[in-house]
Amino acid sequence: MSMEDPTEFETRPGYRRMGIYLPALVVGGLAMLALVYLLAMRTLGWPVPDRLDTALPPLVQSEGSRDVVLFVSPTTQRYFTGVGGNYEVLLSPWRKHLSAQRWRVTEASTPEALSKGEGRILIVPSAVALSPQERSAIEAFKADGGNVLLTWASGTRDDANQWTGWEWLERMGQARVNGEVAKAEDAPGFLVLDGESPINRQQAAGLRIWLGANHEPLLRLMPINDAQLAGRFMDWARTPAPAELANGAIVYGEDERGGRSVVLGFSESTWEYQPHRIAPVIEDALAFLGRRPDAMLANWPAGHRAAQIVEMDTEDQFRNALHLASLMDNIGYRGTFYVLTSMGMEFPDVVKTLARSHEVAFHGEVHTSFKDLPEATQRQRLETMQAQLATALPSDQTTMGFRAPTEGYDGTTERLLAEKGFTHHLADPHRSDARLPLFAAEEGAAQQLVVLPRTQRDDINLLSEGTTDAVVLAQRLGDELALAESQGALGILSVHTQNFAPGSPLASAVSIYLHQLASRRETVWLASAGEVAEWWRDRDRVRVVSRDLGLRAEFDLSVTPGEPLEGVSVVVMLPRKNVLPTVRGAKTGMPPVEVTPIDPYRASVRFGELPAGNYHYQITF
């Protein structure tokens, strides 16, 4: 047996040394390069086919994907024609909106046109009557990972125009229909939005949208199976309805297969009354269905979902203020007392006691309105009230608040308040259509005047309903708290000394209410009016800009010069239910963050102390 010369092997070319392993090494190397490339591009936002990621529902690639399918049902067209209606009236608002917002629209009018879902968005506009084939096609679209927006009474009649009930709409949209909102002169005519919601990313918490004298009845919705409510039908005052009569208007959710849905309990005929406010709702609903992972600056500090102020108009029976102060002390809460200064002069000991633990602010020198008075008169009144409390207030008090007597004020009042260095004005319910603080438009002031609109029923409203049962009053206050928390709003409970004698129904109800507030401190920020105003000015120093990059997102956060900020947080909309993101600095040296869930569709990103500067973060899912 001959032996091979070792020197011959050493002199062979490299490819001959590998022998039969060369093809395998080449293929393996190329496969490895391809895998590394695929993973890198996925991180940069490339979509991954379902077969490579079968455990999770597909994502829309990025905001650049602006494709929707508008289903125009021939069955519904025949139904409306048969009852003397015109389906085009309900289709036209969609066509106008989608065109204005530059969506690429495919109109489908047959079941066969609804091909596989695979992350696509299907709009079913008030398709009241559907054939069995149309229902099956829509169901298959969603079951295949598609996302569906349904409006009004879609699917409640068959192709023979016979009533089939709400079951199909409930199953497709995860929204139980509890009947229609009754039509009456005092019936809810407003859509009121929750804030920081996947279906309200652009507009303020508690915003009222007038729906007009609609011809089609409004549907009362209730979310089921982990779906969420995004808005309610309410009256102008936003009076909370009992739980069993809750007028839910928008429901959104994601089912066990990953398909998303949005149900609007109002028809397209309502859009015409305030189209500039309806349009963002529609866009945000499509953003939810398209799984766009926005990041937005939170309204309240430290991840709180809402804020609550309890204040007293301190007038007649002045000493009753001490009773409310003691109830607040029991839960460790610093409230706000707006003092009628002519009364405060008669009880300087009470004012000083209140000022030791609470915020003392101004309620005018006498209980008459400022509205429409000459500027010189208003200026003199403000100077008089300040002089009357000068010796009773702490010299180091940094906040100055005002609440106009009878809630009567005008633009001159706010301009003078800003000029004199007042920090906030607690105003009437007409001051804003939303339930958040706002800045008075006063130029040249040393600091911005924060306006706090009272958008919650006060004691006068509650007692005028004839209820003297403390338990019932406490329940109504609890309903107000639940509504404010759901909406992410600023709630303000205003009470009066003359109604607050110890042992009175109101005092007993407020005692119960304060303990409810104390138990909700993790989610509801319990603060004085001055603290809320100070936070709102601090928050105004922060800007957040987010970018959707498909399977990841980025956001830039900037803090303008000033003292370091505490409590800043960002709300992130999740592209997949119950899947928390990983948030890391996109550059070295970025402060660490804490990510916690808000609900199945949102997460809170909380920061520690933030000095002035620019910060950059990457969100991966």
Q: Give the Cα separation of 21 and 147 in Å (integer).
A: 49
* Structure confidence by residue, pLDDT tens digits, 191-220: 999 999 999 999 999 999 999 876 789 999
The pLDDT assigned to 50 comes to 34
3-state helix vs strand vs coil in the chain, percent to 5: 35, 25, 40
Residue type, 481: L
The more confident residue out of 44 and 614 is 614
In our burial notation (b when 16+ CB lie closer than 10 A, e otherwise), range 606-616 reads bbeebeeeebe
Helix, strand, or coil here: 359? strand
Residues 6+ apart with CB under 8 A from 435: 195, 204, 205, 206, 207, 238, 453, 455, 484, 487, 489, 490, 491
Q: What is the average per-residue pLDDT within 140-147?
A: 94
* Structure confidence by residue, pLDDT tens digits, 445-491: 667 899 999 999 999 999 998 888 999 999 999 999 999 999 999 99
Alpha helices in 44-156 (DSSP H): 74-82, 88-100, 132-143
Q: How far is CA 586 from the centre of its chain?
A: 27
The pLDDT assigned to 3 comes to 42
pLDDT(46) > 50: no
The pLDDT assigned to 216 comes to 85
Compute, in degrees rounded to 10, the torsion defined by CA atoms 465, 469, 470, 476.
Answer: -40
Contact (Cβ atoms closer than 8 angstroms) between residue 569 and residue 525: no
The pLDDT assigned to 214 comes to 66
Contact (Cβ atoms closer than 8 angstroms) between residue 418 and residue 445: yes
Q: What is the average per-residue pLDDT within 216-242?
A: 92
The pLDDT assigned to 309 comes to 98
The more confident residue out of 43 and 441 is 441
Contact (Cβ atoms closer than 8 angstroms) between residue 77 and residue 109: no
pLDDT(316) > 70: yes
From first CA to last CA, the distance across the chain in angstroms is 64
* Structure confidence by residue, pLDDT tens digits, 47-75: 333 333 333 344 444 444 789 999 999 99
Q: Give the Cα separation of 17 and 261 in Å (integer).
A: 61
Contact (Cβ atoms closer than 8 angstroms) between residue 216 and residue 271: no
pLDDT(582) > 90: yes
Percent of the chain past pLDDT 70, that is, above it, reads: 87
Q: For the whole prediction, is pTM greater than 0.75?
A: yes
How buried is residue 583: exposed, middle or buried, by Cβ count under 10 Å (0-12/13-18/19+)? buried
pLDDT(16) > 70: no
Contact (Cβ atoms closer than 8 angstroms) between residue 502 and residue 319: no
The more confident residue out of 543 and 393 is 543
Q: Give the Cα separation of 25 and 38 in Å (integer).
A: 20
Mean pLDDT of the chain: 89
Contact (Cβ atoms closer than 8 angstroms) between residue 501 and residue 507: yes
Contact (Cβ atoms closer than 8 angstroms) between residue 261 and residue 255: yes
* Structure confidence by residue, pLDDT tens digits, 510-525: 999 999 999 999 999 9
Helix, strand, or coil here: 67? strand
Q: Give the Cα separation of 459 and 461 in Å (integer).
A: 5
CA angle, residues 172, 175, 177, in degrees to nearest 5? 115
* Structure confidence by residue, pLDDT tens digits, 249-299: 999 999 999 999 999 999 999 999 999 999 999 999 999 999 999 999 999
The pLDDT assigned to 26 comes to 53
